[in-house]
């Protein structure tokens, strides 16, 4: 499991940020894997996300598609 750099409180907020990023050349939604996980800064492929960040309880989970470390699609 991975987190987004921005601590989104809901999956809806994450989806809105990704849609806005794809529509405009604004800030990019990026991810990281805490602990000993792989570096996602240049990763291309699918990952699983969870949020909000620890220590708050995780209330949403999502599958995301990354291209060069940037989230381009969320399910």
pLDDT, tens digit, 9 for 90 and up, residues 48-69: 999 999 999 999 999 999 999 9
Cβ(32)–Cβ(69) under 8 Å? no
The pair of three-digit structure tokens given for residue 19, joined into one six-digit string = 């849609």
Residues of the chain with pLDDT below 70 are 25-26
Query: What is the pTM for the complete model shown?
Result: 0.89
């Amino acid at each position: 499991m991975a987190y987004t750099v921005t601590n989104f409180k809901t999956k809806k907020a994450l989806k809105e940020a990704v849609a806005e990023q794809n529509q405009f050349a604004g800030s990019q939604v990026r991810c990281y894997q805490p602990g000993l996980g792989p570096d996602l800064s240049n990763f291309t492929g699918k990952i699983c996300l969870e949020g909000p960040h620890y220590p708050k309880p995780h209330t949403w989970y999502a599958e995301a598609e990354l291209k060069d470390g940037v989230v381009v699609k969320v399910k």
